[in-house]
Structure 1
Amino acid sequence: MAVAVAPPPSNASEFTKPGCQSRCGNLEIPYPFGIGLNCSRNSYFNINCNASFNPPKPFLLNANRYDNYKLTYYEVVNISESQIYVKNSKAQQSMACYGKRFDNKTQNSTIYMNFLDSPYTLSDANQVTSIGCDDLAMVQQDSIKASSGGAIKASSGGGCASYCSHFQNPFGFGSCPGIGCCRTSISKGDILIVELSDMHSYWRRVSKFFPCSFAFIGMIGDYDKFNFSLSHLRNSTTLLKTYNQEFMGMPFVLDWRIMDYNCTDAPNSTDYACGKNSYCIDMDTKLGGYHCRCKKGYEGNPYLGCNDINECEKSNQCVSFGTCTNTLGSYNCSCPDGYHGDGKKYGIGCIPTQLSRSKLAIGVGLGAGMGLLLLSSTCFWLYKFHTKRKHKNRKEKFFKQNGGLLLQQQILTDQSILEKTRLFTVKELEKATDNFNESRILGQGGQGTVYKGMLSEGKIVAIKKSKLVDENQVEQFINEVVMLSQIIHRNVVKLLGCCLETEVPLLVYEFIFNGTLFDLIHDKTNEFPLSWNMRLKIAVEVAEALAYLHSATYFPIYHRDVKSTNILLDEKYVAKVSDFGTSRSIAVDHTHLTTLVKGTFGYLDPEYFQSSQFTEKSDVYSLELFLSSS
């Protein structure tokens, strides 16, 4: 995973001590870090550049002196003003396996990291992730700060439990966070202990589903959500091999600082680190230490001394015919002869001091021309303003008509809705679909038309233009949009958000690449035969999705249109239940839903036609019917 950090200036001499190596492989090494003797502030900042790799790789040796009393090498991937990013290694991992063949428990079930007496501390950008069934990851942290009255110690703790509700051979899949995986944050500190424990007896199980569990620390980033096979938890060797390959690219983040003092006392010390034209910044009042930064108008390495920026050669705010004069840390603007003012573009500028009659006449003519141009521009601007306001009013009308105010009210009540339900503008979706070009249509059905689109950030999505929403059912429509956006299940198509600025609401879903199960079954030319094992796998995944919708959500959700055309397959042929156009949720104190006939004839429960009462059994009937026909 790449970490975005601003690169240093090209002039290496400004960043590295004179005579010292400025780069190791692809990484710039800024002072107080350094390569070689007397090139860093002290041994804690030494970087070992290993030339046996191609390109060479930089390693930090002395960050953690107390890792089981062994020196630990960290491969450095980036250095910023206050943090250093290193590759995830065994020092940030632990594994525990239980049972007789594992001698009850392996010996490396604890992560212990101690950065006392070093300029490094654990960053709160890291998180602890625990993978396993019925396991507890306990986290203990300590922070110690030196003071005139002695050391001040602060302790904290936390943890998370990874849980598996059931396991069905041979399709055991976990998700993180979710099935078989939990995650917890850590705070800044000097000492971190993570201990894995078996919890199967707490859940009153006879034995564990899987004997092994795994925990690691790192900056999540691109690994925010991922799926994995629970079968890797059967064997310690397979587990380590799989997850080392998977997560070795995840960075582990350390905060670094010039230690011991805060900025109140640091300038008075004999080893003050900030160089010329720089100033001191406190790192953390709880942990102590400071950083240095160049003053405004200066650039370079603040620990070696900052140099004045010549704004007159770069960017400045002087008028084009004025004069720019560089000063230390700033610059001045002045006007040429015959003009007066401050010489700045966004100030008074430069005003002529004397005008001849001819110049005055020219000025009047130019003024009249400019006035006419200004009048024309004003009329054009008013027309554009009127048109823009008309479009804005139209969008606001549709927004209110489609329940936008109700959705905003729910967001004010619960801020988590905003994180999961993105409100798209019509401009975004028109750009994503080339103004809803017919060539972008993926399919059409009773509930609307689905388009393929690409958002500005490059993400491919499916955009559904629904049919008109009954104004009497707006509140129910908004409640169901919010409800569907909360669904997080690997076998249910994710609703990313909606747009309410058009006459008909637009729903934005994740895009599933391999089309529908119906197409896969009936395509005679398909080079990928649908084997019995694949059919069984898809059936299990659809059943798990329906079970989740019926029983694991806050309100039970009835799909009401389960058929092969509403089952999508991703690039790994994982089944995704889609098309919730006819779905409904019911409160927990109701046992069924009474409604008009909806769904697809041929897949509907016969009892539903008689009673108009839809239950979870009706979805099961549709599932069994489409499975038997597949």
Structure 2
Amino acid sequence: MKQFQVLYVLILISIAKSSAEAPNYAKEGCNDTCGGVRIPYPFGIGASCSVNKWYIIDCNSSTPYLSAFNNMKVVNIGLEEKTITVNVSVISRCQNSDDHIPSIDLGESPFVYFGSHNVLTVEGCGYAAILDNRLPSVFPGISDYRQEVITGCSTTCSNDSTANKSDLRFGLGCCRNTVPYNLKSYTMDLSGLKRLGEDGACGSAFLGDESWLENSVKHFHHPKKKTTNTSFFPVTLNWFLTNKDFNEIPNFWEGKITNSSLYLGNGS
């Protein structure tokens, strides 16, 4: 059993307040929004408003960024499933000459790529992407690490001028595949497969939140048109609090919480 306990910060939305007062999701004395994005505790705008360094949010020109990882733009923070959605790079044959991109390595942080929310997606005719993970080498004297294939998918195109959403899952101009839950880092490689119908058009690949992807393809009608016209796409991370974090939650909560619930888990 894991030694960490996870505090569901839903406790914050149960704080008793008068009906005329809008709830504040941040630590006392701190702002709980940045550019329309709610920033609930344990996250906070600035070091003094967050539970530790991993949860620091920089609010720059009304845009929230996760400070610990080179200021990734924050799209959403969820309390119920303990999630934070951030923008990550999209790999494109048109933009990246080496067709290869490393992810943000979450390392020793309290974050993992949320497997139940994210999917590997490839767009374009005749492309394949491989997602792999760097692991410790089984032969330390020869190499420091080894690459393990996590998942992958490939696309093709037909002569049909239209494609429905079910076609996207079968590789017609777009494909998707699931990823494991406890993913900490990955590298991605994108290749053109002429035998599968590559037509010289751009191709792209990314790890992204499936619900955001579903929304972006709801008006998708042509297999040769990309649903993402950007260098970034939202991916969702899962976060957890340790026993140490729990013990450091300010005492100002004591005596201020009534008719509320505290949920503890083992981090699994």
Q: Provide the rounded CA distance (Å) in 2 between the counterparts of 1:154 and 1:258.
A: 29
Offset from partner CA, 1:243-295 (integer Å, 9 cap, x none): 236x97x7421111236xxxxxx4xxxxx22249xxxxxxxxxxxxxxxxxxx
Q: Provide the rounded CA distance (Å) in 1 between the counterparts of 2:251 and 2:34.
A: 20
Q: Provide the rounded CA distance (Å) in 1 between the counterparts of 2:212 and 2:49.
A: 35
Query: Residues 109, 304 of structure 1: CA spacing in aligned structure 2 closer, same or farther, 3 A cutoff?
Result: farther
Letter in 2 for 1:73: M
State the TM-score, normalized to the length of structure 1.
0.32
Letter in 1 for 2:110: P
Letter in 2 for 1:220: E
For residue 129 of structure 1, report the CA deviation from its aligned partner. 0.8
Q: Which of 207, 215, 231 matches 1:217?
A: 207
Between Structure 1 and Structure 2, the one with more strand by share is 2
Equivalent positions of 1:132-531 (< 5 A) are 132-142=124-134, 157-164=150-157, 166-167=158-159, 171=161, 175-178=167-170, 179-187=172-180, 188-201=182-195, 208-221=198-211, 223-224=213-214, 226=218, 227-232=220-225, 243-244=228-229, 251-258=234-241, 266=243, 272-275=244-247, 305=253, 307=255
8 A Cα contact 2:124 2:173, kept in partner: yes
Offset from partner CA, 1:517-568 (integer Å, 9 cap, x none): xxxxxxxxxxxxxxxxxxxxxxxxxxxxxxxxxxxxxxxxxxxxxxxxxxxx
**Residue 64 of structure 2 corresponds to residue 58 of structure 1:** yes
8 A Cα contact 2:118 2:208, kept in partner: yes
Offset from partner CA, 1:551-588 (integer Å, 9 cap, x none): xxxxxxxxxxxxxxxxxxxxxxxxxxxxxxxxxxxxxx
**Higher relative contact order, structure no. (Cα contacts within 8 Å, ≥ 6 residues apart):** 2
Q: Provide the rounded CA distance (Å) in 1 between the counterparts of 2:224 and 2:205.
A: 16
**Residue 8 of structure 2 corresponds to residue 8 of structure 1:** no
Offset from partner CA, 1:271-328 (integer Å, 9 cap, x none): x22249xxxxxxxxxxxxxxxxxxxxxxxx79964547656xx9xxxxxxxxxxxxxx
Aligned residues: 230
2:73 is matched with 74
Between Structure 1 and Structure 2, the one with more helix by share is 1
Q: Provide the rounded CA distance (Å) in 1 between the counterparts of 2:47 and 2:159.
A: 57
Letter in 1 for 2:76: V
Letter in 2 for 1:135: Y
Which runs of at least 4 in structure 1 moved beyond 4 Å after TM superposition? 9-15, 153-156, 172-175, 301-311
Offset from partner CA, 1:431-478 (integer Å, 9 cap, x none): xxxxxxxxxxxxxxxxxxxxxxxxxxxxxxxxxxxxxxxxxxxxxxxx
**Residue 59 of structure 2 corresponds to residue 41 of structure 1:** no
Q: Which of 7, 20, 31 matches 1:21?
A: 31
Equivalent positions of 1:608-627 (< 5 A) are none
2:189 aligned counterpart, secondary structure: strand
For residue 18 of structure 1, report the CA deviation from its aligned partner. 3.8
Letter in 2 for 1:141: N
Identity over aligned residues, as a percent? 23
Equivalent positions of 1:533-552 (< 5 A) are none
2:29 aligned counterpart, secondary structure: coil
Query: Residues 129, 198 of structure 1: CA spacing in aligned structure 2 closer, same or farther, 3 A cutoff?
Result: same
**Residue 107 of structure 2 corresponds to residue 116 of structure 1:** yes
**Residue 90 of structure 2 corresponds to residue 93 of structure 1:** yes
State the TM-score, normalized to the length of structure 2.
0.67
Letter in 2 for 1:215: A
Cα RMSD, aligned residues only: 4.0
For residue 76 of structure 1, report the CA deviation from its aligned partner. 3.3
Letter in 2 for 1:274: F
2:194 aligned counterpart, secondary structure: coil
Q: Provide the rounded CA distance (Å) in 2 between the counterparts of 1:156 and 1:26.
A: 38
Letter in 2 for 1:212: C
Q: Provide the rounded CA distance (Å) in 2 between the counterparts of 1:180 and 1:13.
A: 45
* Rg (Cα) greater in structure: 1
Unmatched segments (≥5 aa) in structure 1:
65-70, 145-152, 233-238, 260-265, 267-271, 277-300, 315-328, 330-630
Q: Provide the rounded CA distance (Å) in 1 between the counterparts of 2:193 and 2:147.
A: 29
Query: Residues 167, 41 of structure 1: CA spacing in aligned structure 2 closer, same or farther, 3 A cutoff?
Result: same
2:98 is matched with 107
Q: Provide the rounded CA distance (Å) in 1 between the counterparts of 2:57 and 2:98.
A: 31
2:49 aligned counterpart, secondary structure: coil
Q: Provide the rounded CA distance (Å) in 2 between the counterparts of 1:302 and 1:130.
A: 45
8 A Cα contact 2:57 2:67, kept in partner: yes
8 A Cα contact 1:14 1:304, kept in partner: no
Letter in 2 for 1:131: E
Q: Provide the rounded CA distance (Å) in 2 between the counterparts of 1:303 and 1:128.
A: 42
Query: Residues 24, 123 of structure 1: CA spacing in aligned structure 2 closer, same or farther, 3 A cutoff?
Result: same
1:44 aligned counterpart, secondary structure: helix
Query: Residues 27, 306 of structure 1: CA spacing in aligned structure 2 closer, same or farther, 3 A cutoff?
Result: farther
1:114 aligned counterpart, secondary structure: coil
8 A Cα contact 1:33 1:45, kept in partner: yes
8 A Cα contact 1:92 1:218, kept in partner: no
Q: Provide the rounded CA distance (Å) in 1 between the counterparts of 2:31 and 2:127.
A: 47
For residue 199 of structure 1, report the CA deviation from its aligned partner. 2.2
Letter in 2 for 1:177: R
